[in-house]
Amino acid sequence: MSDRLKQVNLTLESVVKVDVMLRDVWDIPAMEEVFRRRFKGQYPARKTISTEFAHKGGANGLKVQIDGIAYRKDKA
């Protein structure tokens, strides 16, 4: 996410909302640790849900998907 934000001159501080979809809800503590390290106390609104991903990867396939919304106030 950081790399994609850099392409449009934004940072993680610009992220205002994140939806996290996890295959295994027991991965929530690991995900929360990543959020603590990456967002450094400036947390966006967040929703975390458990889901089965429909794709060919099976047990070794997709385990997490994160959708984020970033905001930049245009200079007037």
**Is the overall model pTM greater than 0.85, yes or no?**
no
Q: Looking at the domain assignment, is residue 66 inside a domain?
A: yes
Identify whether 76 is part of a domain.
no
- pLDDT reported for residue 76: 58
- Domain span at residue 52 reads 2-70
Structure tokens given for 22: 């996890």
Q: Is residue 14 part of a domain?
A: yes
Residue 75 within a domain: no
Number of domains the chain contains: 1
- pLDDT value of position 13: 92
Q: Is residue 54 part of a domain?
A: yes
Residue 37 included in any domain: yes
Question: In this structure, which amino acid lies at residue 42?
Answer: Q
Distance of CA 49 to the CA centre of its chain: 12
Residue type, 52: E
Residue 41 falls inside a structural domain: yes
pLDDT in tens, the chain (76 residues): 999 999 999 999 999 999 999 998 999 999 999 999 999 888 999 999 998 876 777 777 888 999 999 998 876 5
Give the pLDDT confidence score for residue 58 in this predicted structure: 73
Q: How far apart are CA 10 and CA 31, in angstroms?
A: 22
C-alpha to C-alpha distance for 1 and 38, rounded to whole angstroms: 10
Q: Give SS3 for 10.
A: coil
